[in-house]
Amino acid sequence: MWEYTDKVRDHFFNPHNVGEIENPDGVGEVGSLACGDALRLTFKLDKDGKIKDAKFKTFGCASAIATSSVLTELIKGKTLDEAAKVTNKDIADYLGGLPEQKMHCSVMGREALEAAIENYQGGGKKKHELEGNVVCTCFGVTDKEIERVIRENDLTTVEDVTNYCKAGGGCGGCRGEIEKIIDTIQGDKAKEMPVTAPRRASGLTNIQKIQLIQQTINEQIRPALRAHGGNIELIDVEGNKVIVAFRGMCAQCKLAEFTMKDVVEAKLREFVTKELFVEEDKESALQPHNHLE
Query: Cβ 63 to ligand FES, closest distance in Å?
Result: 20
Residue 141 beta carbon to ligand FES: minimum distance, rounded to whole angstroms:
7
Size of the site for ligand FES (CB under 6 A): 11
From the CB of 87, what's the least distance to ligand FES, in Å?
24
8 A C-beta contact, residue 128 and residue 28:
yes
Q: Pick out residues in 164-223 that bind ligand FES (CB under 6 A).
A: 167-174
Name every residue whose Cβ is closer than 8 Å to that of residue 132 and which is 6 or more positions away in sequence.
142, 143, 144, 145, 147
Nearest-approach distance from CB 156 to ligand FES, in angstroms? 19
Backbone phi, psi, residue 198, to 5°: -60, 130
Decide whether 172 or 230 has the Cβ nearer to ligand FES.
172
Q: Which of 61, 105, 138, 171 is flagged as catalytic?
A: 105
Of 110, 76, 81, the residue nearest 93 (C-alpha) = 110
Query: Of the candidates 291, 264, 266, which has an alpha carbon nearest to the alpha carbon of residue 280?
Result: 264
Can 35 be counted among the known catalytic residues?
yes
Q: Find the part of the chain contacting ligand FES (CB under 6 A) among 35-43, 110-118, 163-171, 214-222.
A: 163-171
Nearer to ligand FES by Cβ, of 171 and 264: the residue is 171
Residue 105 appears among annotated catalytic residues: yes
Q: Where are the beta strands (DSSP E) in 177-282?
A: 230-238, 241-247, 277-280
Residues 108-147 that bind ligand FES (CB under 6 A): 136-138
DSSP-assigned letter for residue 79: B
Q: Give the phi and the psi of residue 67 in degrees, each rounded to 5.
A: -70, -35
Cβ at position 182, least distance to ligand FES in Å:
14
Closer residue to ligand FES (CB): 97 or 140: 140
> Site residues for ligand FES, window 235-254 (CB under 6 A)?
none
Closer CB to ligand FES, 136 or 285, in the complex:
136
Residue 221 backbone dihedrals phi, psi, to 5 degrees: -110, -50
The Cα 163–Cα 148 span in angstroms is: 14
Distance CA(73)–CA(109), nearest Å, equals 12
Residue 11 or 261 with smaller CB distance to ligand FES: 261
Catalytic site positions: 35, 105
Kindly list the residues in this chain that would bind ligand FES in the complex (CB under 6 A).
Answer: 136-138, 167-174
